Each structure stands twice: as C-alpha cells, then as structure tokens.
Amino acid sequence: MLALAIHGGAGTIARATLTPAAETQYRAALQAALATGYAVLAGGGPALDAVEAAVRSLEDCPLFNAGRGAVFTHEGHHEMDAALACGHTGRAGAVAGVRQVQNPIRAARLVMDATEHVLLAYPGADELALEHGLPVQPPAYFFTQQRYDQLQEAIAAGRMQLDHAAAPAADPNWKKGTVGAVACDARGHLAAATSTGGMTNKRYARIGDTPIIGAGTWADARCAISCTGHGEYFIRAVAAHDVACLMEYRGLSLAEATRVVVHDKLAPAGGEGGLIAVDALGNLALPFNSEGMYRASRTEQSEEVTAIY
C-alpha cells in the first residue's frame, strides 16, 4: 500500500508562539512537500525517489532547519547533514557538514549512487557534489534573519541551542527543525530520508544523529525511520535501528516499537523529539514526546493529514 509521512521537526511548539498566519505557512509547506513525494509514489515511482523529492521540497523552504533555512554555527556559517536509506537493497548514503550544496539530500543520494562509501564529510562531500554538477549556492542563499538573530541570542547566552527549543513569545517566525520523510511504494519497498542544519551555535564541526545510519535514519525490509530531536540522545540509543530490532526480535508492531523507543527509552533519558515510521504494509507511526512535531501523512486508504501539536 502506498504510504508517505514527512516531518519538519519536533520540540517546544506552543500555540502561543505560532501566529495563525505562521501556522498557515507551515501547513502549506508540509502539504506541498507531501504532495511532491506522493506524486512520485502514485506515478509508480520507488520509495527512495519519493522521500528524496519530499525532503528536497522541505530543504528549499526557509521555514525549516534544513537547506535554505539551516541554522548558523558559532563561526557564522552553515554545516548541513543529510542521509538516505533504501530498505530493499540495504544501501545508504549520507553527508555531514556540507556548506555549499543547495540540497544536501541530493548529495547524500550521490554518495549512495556514485561511490563505494556511506558517509562523506566536508570538504570532501562538497567536492564530490561539485564534481557531479549538483547545484551549489553562496552563503547568502542560506541566510535568514531569524536564524541569524537566533545565533546572536545563543552566543549571548553562552550555549549551543536546539533549533527545537522554545521560541521567544514575540517572535512568531521562529523556525523549527530537522526534516524527513519515509515511504512505502507499490512493491512494498521502503525508504527514509532526513536532512538538517543541526544546532544553533554548534562548534567543533559537531554532527548529530541525522547522517548516522541507524541513529537518525534507517530503512530495511521491515520498516523505514526518520528521527528529529536532540541528536546526541538518538545516537546513544541508536534510536532508528532500535525500532527495527524491536520489530524483528520481539515481534512488536510498528506502532508499539516506535512507542517504546520514543516514550519508554528516549524520554526518560532526556531525549526530546520524535520520529516518523512506515512498515512494508504501509502502516504509519508518528510518535513524539515533545510539545509538538510538524508532520503530514497520506496513504492509499487515507486522505492527507497535516498536524503540528
């Protein structure tokens, strides 16, 4: 059964800090990305192409912490991570810290398709993208005033800051997080994709869970997972792969396995966030332990659903 779910980040998303106009913008962006990815599935395309297309749409939208809306590092530039995983082949590709690539998820796909590797980091990942003609952009393309203001606040406070942290009440344009997609295609094949700008004011080339296969992104013949939240906790828990393990070794359903990981394992340890997941029957699960998660989904048997809180 065709199924697609996407997310635009999880965290403290209070109704009081999101104006009706801003909420409309977020919902429209989610709907556009969902439509883009689902069109691939409806046309008989593979799950891998569908998740890449959906994530590219979200990367192009400055509302989310990926691609064009990526947060700033302490040094004042952008270091973006992305990953793709293909369930039926077991192949994966990822990039970390890329600075010029317009769509980091395309660079991750390039690693999967054109190299023998799984994960490439800056500057090599950017060099590969340039060699293969992927679109690149100057720093000004990735600049947004709200992200810059967010950096100044984090520097003044002397902390590294989750993009999913609470927004100042006076700022209705505070942008939220990591983006991702999971899909099941007509052949029952699964795929997952995730992309992020990381954490505001991050230093020392910090890398989160997104490009780490098994932590923030995973796909096999059983399930496909894309995570969002405080990456260090998802890495320690090997969160995405743990869902697959619970399904394989304990025989849990997708819904129960994702509940255990998000609520029983991550939450008690302080791992705020959530994930989106799909199994080979097209069942979806979108659990989160935070105040909200930008999300949308659609299957052959259900109409489009878009939600935030």
What is the 3-class SS of 166-200, one letter each residue? CCCCCCCCCCECCEEEEEECCCCCEEEEEEECCCE
Q: Is residue 256 domain-resident?
A: no
> Among 36, 73, 178, 210, which one carries the catalytic annotation?
178
Residue whose tokens read 């025989």: 251
Active site residue 73: no
Task: Report the binding-site residues for substrate.
Answer: 206-209, 228-231
Residue 308 domain flag: no
pLDDT for residue 171: 40
Question: What is the tally of structural domains in the chain?
Answer: 1
Q: What is the pLDDT of residue 166?
A: 47
Tell me whether residue 42 is in a domain.
yes
DSSP classification of residue 66: S
Please state whether the predicted TM-score (pTM) of the whole model is above 0.85. Answer: yes
251 belongs to a structural domain: no
Q: What is the pLDDT along the chain (309 residues), one digit of tens a residue?
A: 999 999 999 987 877 778 899 999 999 999 999 999 999 999 999 999 999 999 999 999 999 999 999 999 999 899 999 999 999 999 999 999 999 999 999 999 999 999 999 999 999 999 999 999 999 999 999 988 888 888 888 888 876 655 544 444 334 334 457 999 999 999 999 999 999 999 989 999 999 999 999 999 999 999 999 999 999 999 999 999 999 999 999 999 999 999 999 999 999 999 999 999 999 999 999 999 999 999 999 999 999 999 999
pLDDT at 164: 45
Query: Residues forming the annotated binding site?
Result: 206-209, 228-231
Q: CA torsion angle for 279, 284, 288, 292 (degrees, to 10)?
A: 150
Q: Tell me, yes or no, whether 274 lies in a domain.
A: no
For residue 289, being part of any structural domain is answered with no
In a domain, 30, yes or no: yes
CB atoms within 10 A of CB 83: 35
Domain enclosing residue 137, as ranges: 3-8+16-220
Q: How many CB atoms lie within 10 A of CB 228?
A: 34
pLDDT score for 177 = 75
Give me the pLDDT at residue 160, please.
Answer: 65
**Residue 167 domain flag:** yes
